Structure 1
Amino acid sequence: MKKSGYFNRNSYRIVFFLFYLMALRLNADSTHTSFVIGETFRYTINIYGIKVGTQIIKLVSEEDFNGSSVYKIRGITKTTGISRLFHQYSEQWTLLIDSTTLCPVWIERHIEDGGVSSDYTYSIDQAQHKVVVFNREKGEKKVIHTNNIVFDQYLVSLFYFYRENPFYFKGDFSFDFLKKDYVKTALLQQVGPVQVCIPKLSRNDKTTTCKFSEKGGDGIEIYAGMNGFAVPLKIVFSVPLKNNKKSTKIELYIRDYAVNIEEELIPESYRPLFNRGLLVINVL
């Protein structure tokens, strides 16, 4: 009976999402107020409180892709500092998300991991629940069948989807996210307002955030800003070690948020960040 109930809830979510996609298509206005072209996020990557890397995310442009309007997001994820003495990792990736649905349709990844290079592309068909993975190094293609909305490996597209559609995350939210050549299913639960320390905002005072916690799986935790700034301030997940017997907890903290627009064009909800030194304005 439990499995049947779970199936019914999942079926309801899939049907709801398909109706959501159709509704957005009928009202095809790709203007969004929760983010702006040119915005850049920088995160520090930490293990056991020690900085081991950085991640930079930039919303580059809105452009055409196969006849549809998409947002192009580029990112760099890499190890830094003394951690490179133990392991070197660098990844440059490009993410295209549909400008209407805010769901990913295309991903490119170039990975340098311990001296080994790999290149992947992902063609995502959300309506058909299918992802075509192409390994450029080996010339191999693989088709992955999914059960839920698919988001990218770093959940960046999930964050953009959430910023525009926070109502969709009430209660439990199931989704699939990409690994190198397969997908994993996650079930996020909205825990509610919690206070956490965000070093960039304050080393002493705690910041009120909206927490989302994964049930099982990789132990994903997302702490999103509130009061109109619904972006991830802290992200936690676990990655397996090489022997796959243990895992290490990874923590990402927001370092800064920058936009390349005139100050008067910045969304009103972002303005309180000026007082905390988190928001940087690069006037055009």
Structure 2
Amino acid sequence: SGYVFAVSVQRVQLHLQVLNVKRFHHQQQQQQAPQSSAQGELTPSEIHEICDYFSRCVVCEPYDASRIASFIMLLTLPISVIQEFVKLITWNKSLSEAHGDIAAAERARAELCLEKHPRSVSDDYTEPSLLSKSNIQHDRANNSVDFTLTFVLDHNLTPHVRTSGGAAWLPFCVSLRLRYTFGDTSHIAYLAMDGSHGGRSCWLQHEDWERCKQSVVKAVKMVNGSPAGGETSRGRLQMVAEMVQKQLQLCLVHLRDGSLSAGSTRP
């Protein structure tokens, strides 16, 4: 891709260096495909966002080996795929800046999850490589990448759920595993969905959780059905994050309204 990202350790601190390696092509090749080489490069603003993301989300304490491994795996993806992730990261950053006055634990947000956590066996999905530390898996043969989005639920919409121990201090979250197939035709597929606080987040009833899960699957499919034209600035990954976040908001509203109506009918 023409770029070298070097992660180094200096005085117990991680540093990121970005080196632009100029490849020497024959003059005939440059004349035949001048546009393709331009499309295969990261812009200065994209490089800046990558470096900013590294300092904000990768080297934050406590250090985690899977977080570093995921970031390195992200940088080995094709340039066009890296740009998709940069759009997602930039969108998330803009939302955080817009809600700077609201505590992070109380505002809804969607984040790219770099840390690899033990998964519950669900949805007939198994990790392609259990030995890999990276939470981002690149299948070069099939032009696909598996990744996880973590959705922190809106504190104002989550119903009151009794939790014990340290979990009472943690925000309710939903973890969504997706597969992005890129190339001539891009496609995003649902793989699995897990919740915090025991696996179902704030959905105590199994039926409610399964209903929410199915609505998220439909939201992901809607992104694949939407036209790509006019969405270049947003990107597919940002679109699916927005759609799923809205759907989770609706599920929370239905869950809350259902709890209120059930409470009002009790004798």
TM score, norm. by length of structure 2: 0.28
Asked which structure has the greater CA Rg, the reply is 2
Looking at both structures, which has the greater relative contact order when contacts are Cα pairs under 8 Å and sequence separation is at least 6?
2
More strand by share: 1
